[in-house]
Amino acid sequence: MISFHYSFGEYDGVTIYEAPDDTTAATIVLAIASAGHLKSVKTTTLLTVEDTMEVMRRMGEITFRGLTE
């Protein structure tokens, strides 16, 4: 866990943590939620600047032609 913050609004708290991959992150969330102490959980993946630059580089290599009906 990197940090935990109480908040006002839809959710009462925000936890920022780092995991080696999405599967590990999902396992952590499910383990915490399964204890029954949380009413709801929402996850959001954060990208580093480096990850975002890699996404944009890859995006430039593909062409999206749209969907056909």
Give the per-residue pLDDT at 67.
80
Query: What distance lies between CA 16 and its chain's CA centroid?
Result: 10
| Tens-digit pLDDT profile for residues 21-58 | 989 999 998 998 898 888 888 888 889 999 999 999 99
C-alpha 25/C-alpha 19 separation (Å) is: 6
| Tens-digit pLDDT profile for residues 14-29 | 999 999 998 999 999 8
Distances (CA, A) of 43 to 4, 14, 40, 57, 66: 14, 10, 10, 26, 29
Give the per-residue pLDDT at 69.
66
Q: Return the DSSP state at 35.
A: T
Residue 32: partners with Cβ closer than 8 Å, 6 or more residues away:
38, 41
Higher confidence at residue 64 or residue 21? 21
